[in-house]
Structure 1
Amino acid sequence: MVRTRPLQAKYSIVLVNYKTHELTRTCLELLKTALHGTDVPVFVVDNDSNDASTDYLHGLDWINLIERKSGAPECGAAAHGRALDLALAEVETEYLFLLHTDTFIHDPDVFSLMIRQCSTPEDVVAVGCLEQLNRGVVRSAWRLTSRFAKHYTRRGLRALGLNARAPRPFREKHLKSFCTLWNARLIKHHGLHFHMNGGNPGYELQDRMTELGYRVECIAPRQLFRYLDHIQSGTVAANGGFAKNHRRVRMYNRLSPEPVVAIPVSPYI
Structure 2
Amino acid sequence: MNAEPLLSVIIPVHDQWPLTRQCLHGLRTATHGNFFEVLVVDNASQDATPTACPPLGRKLFGDRFAFLRRNMNQGFGPACNLAAHTARGELLFFLNNDTVPQPGWFEPLRAALTEEPDLGAVGPLLVYPVSKPSPKQSADHDTNAGVKPQTTAQCPQTQHLGIAFCLQKRPHHLYEHFPARHPLVGKKRRVSALTAAALLLPRSLFLTLDGFYPGYVNGYEDLELCARIRRQGLALRCVPESTIIHYSSQTPGRFDHDQANARLLQERCAALITPDLNRHIVQDGLKPALTPWLLPHAVQQDEDTRHLAPLTQSPLPALLDLLEAHPLWQAGYEAAGRLLQEKSDWPQALEIRLRQANLRPSLAAYTHLLRAALKCGQQSLATETQNRIAVINRLLADPHTLRRKAAHLANQARMLGEDDLERLYRQACKPCGQ
The TM-score normalised by the length of structure 1 is: 0.64
The match for 1:177 is: 196
Question: What is residue 120 of structure 2 aligned with on the other side?
Answer: 125
Question: Aligned-residue CA RMSD in angstroms?
Answer: 3.4
Aligned to 2:233: 213
SS in 2 for 1:93: coil
> Number of matched residues?
202
Distance 1:28 1:193 in 2: 24
The counterpart of 2:252, out of the listed 236, 254, 260, is: 236
Match of 2:70 among 68, 71, 77: 68
Q: 1:197: how far off?
A: 4.0
Contact 2:108 / 2:239 at 8 angstroms: preserved in 1?
Answer: no
Distance 1:29 1:45 in 2: 17
Q: Which has the higher helix share?
A: 2
Distance of aligned partners of 1:122 and 1:85 in 2 relative to their CA distance in 1, 3 Å threshold: same
Would you identify which runs of 4 or more consecutive aligned residues in structure 1 move more than 4 Å? 129-137, 169-172, 244-247
Residue 37 (structure 1) aligns with: 33
CA distance in 1, matches of 2:77, 2:249: 15
How far apart in 2 are the matches of 1:169 and 1:28? Answer: 30
Distance (whole Å) between structure 2 residues aligned to residue 183 and residue 210 of structure 1: 14
CA distance in 2, matches of 1:212, 1:167: 20
Query: In the alignment, is residue 11 of structure 1 matched against residue 7 of structure 2?
Result: yes
- Aligned-residue offset at 1:210: 0.8
Give the CA deviation at 1:58: 2.7
Corresponding residue for residue 200 of structure 1: 220
1:125–1:216 Cα contact (<8 Å) kept: yes
Cα deviation 1:133-158 (Å, max 9, x = unaligned): 49999x88xxxxxx99xx67xxxxxx
Contact kept in structure 2, 1:81 and 1:200, CA below 8 Å: no
Contact 1:124–1:217 (8 Å) recurs in 2: yes
Give the letter aligned to residue 34 of structure 1.
Answer: A
Distance 1:27 1:246, change over 3 A: farther
Distance 1:37 1:171 in 2: 33
- Equivalent residue, structure 1, for 2:189: none
Q: Is the 8 A contact 2:78 2:214 kept in 1?
A: no
User: Within the alignment, does 1:23 sit opposite 2:42 as a pair?
Assistant: no
Partner of 1:168: 170
- Structure 2: tracts of 5 or more residues without a match: 130-147, 159-163, 175-191, 255-377, 382-434
Residue 58 and residue 167 in structure 1: after superposition, are their counterparts in 2 closer, same or farther (change >3 A)? Answer: closer
CA deviations 1:155-202 (Å, max 9, x no partner) are xxxxxxxxxxx67355763201222111111222x2421234425232
Give me the whole-angstrom Cα distance separating, in 2, the residues matched to 1:69 and 1:178: 23
1:48 aligns with 2:64: no
Q: Which has the higher contact order (CA 8 A, sep 6+)?
A: 1
Q: Pick from 101, 106, 109 the counterpart of residue 102 of structure 2.
A: 106
Q: Find the residue that maps to 1:175 and give its secondary structure.
A: coil
- 2:80 paired residue among 84, 91, 99: 84
In structure 1, the residue corresponding to 2:88 is in which secondary structure?
coil
Q: CA deviation at 1:116?
A: 0.7
> Which residue type is aligned with residue 237 of structure 2?
E
Secondary structure at the counterpart of residue 195 of structure 1: coil
Q: Distance in 2 between matches of 1:211 and 1:167?
A: 17
The verdict on how the C-alpha distance between 1:30 and 1:207 changes in structure 2, with shifts beyond 3 A counting, is same
Give ranges in structure 1 of 5+ residues lacking alignment. 1-6, 141-146, 153-165, 239-243, 248-269
> Residue 89 of structure 2 contacts residue 203 of structure 2 at CA under 8 Å; is this kept in 1?
yes
Amino acid at match of 1:219: V
- 3-state SS of 1:233 partner: coil
Instruction: Give the aligned partner of residue 255 of structure 1.
Output: none
After superposition, the Cα gap between the structure-2 partners of 1:129 and 1:58, relative to the gap in structure 1 and judged at 3 Å, is: closer
- Give the secondary-structure state (helix, strand or coil) at the position aligned to 1:101: coil
Which amino acid is the alignment partner of residue 206 of structure 1?
C
Larger radius of gyration: 2
Query: Conserved in 2, the CA contact under 8 Å of 1:34 and 1:106?
Result: yes
| Offset at residue 39 of structure 1 (A) | 3.6
Distance in 2 (CA, whole Å) between partners of 1:82 and 1:200 is 13
Letter aligned with residue 239 of structure 2: I
2:53 to 57, 69, 93: 57
